[in-house]
Amino acid sequence: MTEPLKPGAMVGVLGGGQLGAMFAQAARRLGYRVAVWDPDPDAPAHRAADHSVAASFSDPSARDAFSRAVQAVTFEWENVPADLCDWLEQRHPVRPGSEVLRIIQDRIVQKQFLQSRGLPVPSFAAVTAPDALAEAAERLGLPALCKTATAGYDGKGQWMIRRAADAGPVIEALRGGTRPGMRWILETFVEFDRELSVLIVRSDAGDCRTYPVVENRHDQGILRVTLAPASVPVSVAQQAADLAVSAVAALDGVGVFCVELFQRRDGALLINEIAPRPHNSGHYTLDACSCSQFEQQVRVLCGLPLGEVRMLSPAAMVNLIGEEARGATADVGSSVLFIPGAVLHLYGKRVVRAGRKMGHVTFLAERGDIAAERAAEFIKRLSSES
């Protein structure tokens, strides 16, 4: 991009879930028009768009119409077709680019790439057929976690193997879902003290901004709560930031990235995965930072100066999963809105499903322990309501 896009330009986003909707809202606040392409006509981002395309990502006429409408393109998740991004990249700036997407959307390729750059990752083995799993598990050692190489998220497409006897049922599960060319990755299960993540924003010129390291706590593979900033020593926070910057620089990535990390019990940090987009663990930035991760996504895409990453307040973010959204808008919601510093975000998804992220609540406080305490009380209340 030779010069920044001016307000009034149309920017495009592939994917219309809550991340696409939040991107659209940030773009419109900065004066840009937004085109959303999502095959689901009921996707939340369509309602925030100036131009909508609700067709398959493989539809060439939809591709042409979307391309004619936009001047730059981004995406809200890493499972959009890389070939589509490659085609669009021949015509418009796409941030991040298709080559980065190809590396990140395949867990085997991603781990091999990071390992080849000397970056620390858990030990892993590629599994190209279900019957190869037992041998890989014996070679790698147990416990281990088997994941689909592509398309898995929020704990989907993952199987824990704690002992040799667990391999048989997992092999049968893999056989039942096998498609031509399907692959899996087996990773040593990391005994960790904390799961951490770092948001990185990187410009075309290689300029970087790093948000404070945060702690993430999961439930059944789904992010439950994020504590920002993480209660870790300054040395650990600096090491996490350095690893994140190194990983994104190695990719030559341009855009917003989230680098997920394990802090092992011996204190060492390992890179778990990288998301080439705004991340659930960065939702706190909407309320607790001077420039949110979504505004940064707009800034990078349009060639604008990167925003500052200053935290205005400690925060704890709690996801609303499935039916919890109904409670949050009924009895629990009426109480949440009276809690000092609580900010409720509902995503406007009309279909409620178990395990589906329907919204989140950010708790702001003068101290991180107070925010965390309010979040814990809220989760306890949600549990008692279910």
**Phi, then psi, of 223 in degrees rounded to 5:** -60, 125
Give me 102's structure tokens: 């190809």
pLDDT at res. 166: 93
How far apart, in Å, are the Cα atoms of 210 and each of 198, 259, 373?
Answer: 7, 11, 26
Give me 161's structure tokens: 């193997």
- The Cα–Cα gap between 135 and 78 comes to 30
Q: Quote the Cα angle for 152-296-78, to 5°.
A: 15
- The Cα–Cα gap between 9 and 219 comes to 41
pLDDT at res. 381: 86
pTM for the whole thing? 0.95
Closest CA to 7 of 43, 26, 24, 31: 31
Burial of 326 (0-12, 13-18, 19+ CB in 10 A): middle
pLDDT at res. 84: 98
pLDDT at res. 336: 83
pLDDT tens string 312-357: 999 999 999 998 877 666 655 557 888 899 999 999 998 999 899 9
pLDDT at res. 386: 62
3 state SS of 99: helix
- Residue 281 amino acid letter: S
Residue ranges of the chain whose pLDDT lies below 50 = none
The residues, ordered by sequence, that sit 6+ positions from 197 with a Cβ below 8 Å of its Cβ are: 213, 214, 216, 226, 258, 259, 260, 261, 279, 281, 282
Give me 376's structure tokens: 């814990």
For the chain, state the CA radius of gyration: 21
pLDDT at res. 147: 95
pLDDT at res. 313: 97
- The Cα–Cα gap between 218 and 87 comes to 36
- For residue 350, the surrounding DSSP H or E stretch is none
